[in-house]
Homo-oligomer: A and B are copies of this chain.
Amino acid sequence: MNEKLLAGKHLWYFEYYTGGDVGLFMKIARMVHSEQTPIQRIDIFDNPTLGRVFALDGITMTTDKDEFMYHEMLAHVPMFTHPNPKNVLIIGGGDGGTLREVLRHPEVESVVLCEIDRRVVEVSKQYLKTGEAFNSDKVELVFENGAEYVKKIKNQFDVIIIDSTDPTAGEGGHLFTQDFYRACFDALKDGGVMCAEAENALYDFNWTKIAYRRIKSIFPVVKAYVGFMTTYPSGFWLYILASKGLDPIKDYRFEAARAMSQQLKYYNEELHKACFVLPNFVKRTLEESL
């Protein structure tokens, strides 16, 4: 119906999903920023439907329209599972979206955000709404490979959130290794909680299985949960929560979650439980991966 749009004056963005024969395209109404850093290519552009879009190496990281779905689910499930999350580490997340959600929690005293690419934080502060979160004086920025950084830390954090890019792209692969998850375990205090984005169930399900199996070999409590993320491949996103003992369903702070959900667009105290109910093929595939 809109074939004429393909011709003419517009630029277009194509994100090829794993395999390369399916993907999402977006019209580029305005190219805002594009650069090649030593680590990866950063692109920021405006799309009439999705608003501002931020991509790394041709993989969509955030859009104004739907970034809340991913950031709320990645942050609030672990944050409300922990009874008192004072010290938080975010690995990756240089756009600031996860940081914004973590900072909503009044218990938080400090957040270390470890981002491998300084330029991601700099352009996010300049061009993205999510970048406003970096204005908080509770934030300490570390520009280093997350896997290297976390190895040096012991017994320091209540919650660690792994907000990585795809393992097949750029430097994200370092954040899916067994050594890395072990280092996260050691960097957590007793009673600590870790949460990792774990790719999608259609195009990159192997990465989910690998992450699940590796995390299961280290943490005593490991549960996968799901959420919509409409501009990520398939829209069907997985997360893995792991802890040193706390159960995300039995132990979460229901009343606090209910109170905060008033100001949120996705997460609420009932979804906190419902998101752990997995479709059969996801449940079976994860069980078989062990």
Contacts and interface: CB of A to CB of B under 8 A. Distances in A.
A50 interface: yes
A48 to B, nearest CB: 5
Contacts of A281: 265-266
Contact of A235 (B25, B47, B230): B230
A5 B14 CA distance: 12
Contacts of A22: 24-27, 47, 49-50
A278 B266 CA distance: 8
Contacts of A57: 1
Given A1-B16, A2-B20, A230-B234, A69 B279 contact: yes
Interface string A198-211: 00111100000000
Interface in A243-283: 261, 264-268, 270-271, 273-275, 277-281
Q: How many monomers of this chain does the complex have?
A: 2
Contacts of A26: 21-22
Interface residues of A, number: 54
Contact of A202 (B21, B65, B278): B65
Given A228-B236, A274-B274, A19 B279 contact: no
Contacts of A277: 268, 270-271, 273-274
Nearest to A230: B234
Contact of A265 (B200, B234, B274, B279): B279
B1 A21 contact: no
Contacts of A5: 16, 20-21
Given A2-B16, A66-B202, A228-B279, 14 more contacts: A2-B20, A19-B48, A22-B25, A22-B49, A69-B279, A201-B228, A231-B234, A235-B236, A265-B280, A268-B277, A268-B279, A271-B278, A271-B279, A274-B275
14 contacts: A2-B16, A22-B27, A23-B24, A65-B202, A69-B279, A200-B230, A228-B234, A234-B235, A261-B280, A266-B281, A267-B279, A267-B280, A268-B279, A268-B280
